[in-house]
Amino acid sequence: MDSIIVTGGGPLQGSIPIAGAKNACLTLMPVTLLSDEPLTLTNAPRLSDIRTMSTLLQSLGCEVSALSDGLVLALSSHALNGARADYDIVRKMRASILVLGPLLARHGSAVVSLPGGCAIGARPVDLHLKALEAMGAQLELRDGYVHATTPAGGLRGGTFAFPFVSVGATENALMAATLARGTTVLKNAAQEPEITDLVRCLKAMGARIEGEGTATLTIEGVDRLHGATHRVVTDRIELGTYMLAPLIAGGEVTCLGGRRALLSAFCDKIEAAGAAVTETPEGLTVRRANGPIRAVDVETEPFPGFPTDLQAQMMALLCTADGTSVLEEKIFENRFMHAPELTRMGAQIEVHGGTATVTGVERLKGAPVMATDLRASVSLILAGLAAEGQTTVSRVYHLDRGYEHVVAKLRGVGATIERIKEDG
C-alpha cells in the first residue's frame, strides 16, 4: 500500500493545472445510457473513480474508450446487454447509483445494488427513489438491491420537491425525466456547478430543460436523445484544495483554469482569513495578503455556500491560524475523522458532534498519519506542507479517487513530496 511523504518548510511558487471535475464526470458518464448514439466527454479527469464507473458501464454492455491519455472518454450504449449493476462494482463508489435513473428511463427496468464509498455518514438513497417514484417508477428493495420497473408506456412527468438539497438525487431524477412522458418539475433542486454542467450536456443531446442554475428545474420529456461532445467543467474541489496550498506553505500559486464563480463563498472565506485572490484569464492566483492567516468560522452549506468537500482542507489551514476558529459541518455527519490525525501533528482541535473548534498553533510537526477518506487524505498532505520535519500519510488509495498526479502537481510548485511503495 502506498504512502506519501511530505517535508514542510518551503514556500510554493508557480502554477498548477486544474483537472476536469470528478463529480461532474461521474454524473455525465451514465448519460450515455439515455441514448443509442455516441457521447464524447473531453477534459475528463484521470482517476480511479472514473475507471470504476467505466467498468460499471461496460458491465451493462456500454463501450467506453479512454483517448488522449485519458483526457477524452468516448462512450456508446447502442448495444446494451443488461440492466443489472452488481454489488462487486457498485460497492466501491456511491456515484454508481446514478445508473438507476437512466436505465429505468430508457429500458423500463433496472436492478442496482445499494452503493458504497467513503465512510462519511449514512448518505441514504431515499431521495433518489422517492423522486423516481414521483415519475411512476415501481421500486422494491430486496437483498441489498433496488429492483425498479416502470408502468406500461414508461416513466411519466411528475412534480417532486426535495425535502432537503441532494446533488445525487437531483442528478438521477433529472436524467430520468428527460425521457419521461410529459413535464417533470423538480423543486428545491441542487444548484451545484456539476448540476449545471449536466443540464448543458443533456441539452446538447436534445433534452428540453429550463431553470439551470436555479432551485427549480422543469423538464419536458422527449422521445429520444442524440449524441454529443461535451467538455467537463473544472473541478472546483481540486481548485479550492490547491488554492489553500500557498496559504499554508507560503508563496504564490496560480490555479490554471480556475474561476471565482465556481467557489465564490470559499474565496470570500479565505480572503477574510488573509488571502489575496486574483482572477486572471489564466485562472486564480493566490497568496497571503499581509501577515499570518487569521482565524475564521466556517459553516458548510449546499452550493453556493461553503463546500463540505473543502472543510477538511480548510481545517488544515486553520490549524496554524492566529486565533480560534469554529467549523460547523451541516452536510454530512462523521466528517471530522481527519481531526485526530491533525492532532497527532500538534494541532489543537476539539470536536463535539458536528462542530470542531480549532485553536491555531505556531507550527505543526511532522508525524505518521492515516487517511480516512478522500478529502481527509489531501488535508493531511496540505498540513504536511506547513509542518516541521516529515509527515508520512498512509492509506493514500483514497487520494487516487479524486486527485490526479497530486505529487507531481505539488512538486511542480516547489513542494518536497514523494510517493513510496510500502513493503507488503
What residue numbers does the annotated binding site for UDP-N-acetyl-alpha-D-glucosamine cover?
Answer: 94, 123-127, 309, 331
Question: Dihedral (C-alpha) 161, 167, 171, 177: value to the nearest 10 degrees?
Answer: 0
Cα 292-293-296 angle, rounded to 5 deg:
145
Binding-site sequence positions: 22-23, 94, 123-127, 309, 331
Binding-site sequence positions for phosphoenolpyruvate: 22-23
Maximum C-alpha span of the chain: 67
Question: Dihedral (C-alpha) 41, 400, 80, 59: value to the nearest 10 degrees?
Answer: 170
201 annotated active-site: no
Give the number of other CB atoms < 10 A from CB of residue 134: 20
Asked if 342 and 316 touch (Cβ cutoff 8 Å), the reply is yes
Concatenated DSSP letters for 195-241? HHHHHHHHHHTT-EEE-TTSSEEEEE--S----EEEEPPB-HHHHHH
φ/ψ region of 259 (left if φ > 0, alpha if ψ in -120 to 50, else beta) reads beta
Identify the residue whose cell numbers are 505529487: 407
Out of 25, 62, 118, 201, pick the active-site residue: 118
Pairing of strands 183-187, 159-161: parallel
Asked if 244 and 313 touch (Cβ cutoff 8 Å), the reply is yes
One-letter amino acid at 420 equals I
Asked if 403 and 241 touch (Cβ cutoff 8 Å), the reply is yes
Pairing of strands 387-388, 368-370: unpaired
Give the number of other CB atoms < 10 A from CB of residue 420: 10
One-letter amino acid at 289 equals A
Question: How far apart, in whole angstroms, are the C-alpha atoms of residue 410 and residue 424?
Answer: 27
In sequence order, the β-bridge partners of residue 220 are 183, 208
Asked if 145 and 111 touch (Cβ cutoff 8 Å), the reply is yes
Residues noted as catalytic? 118
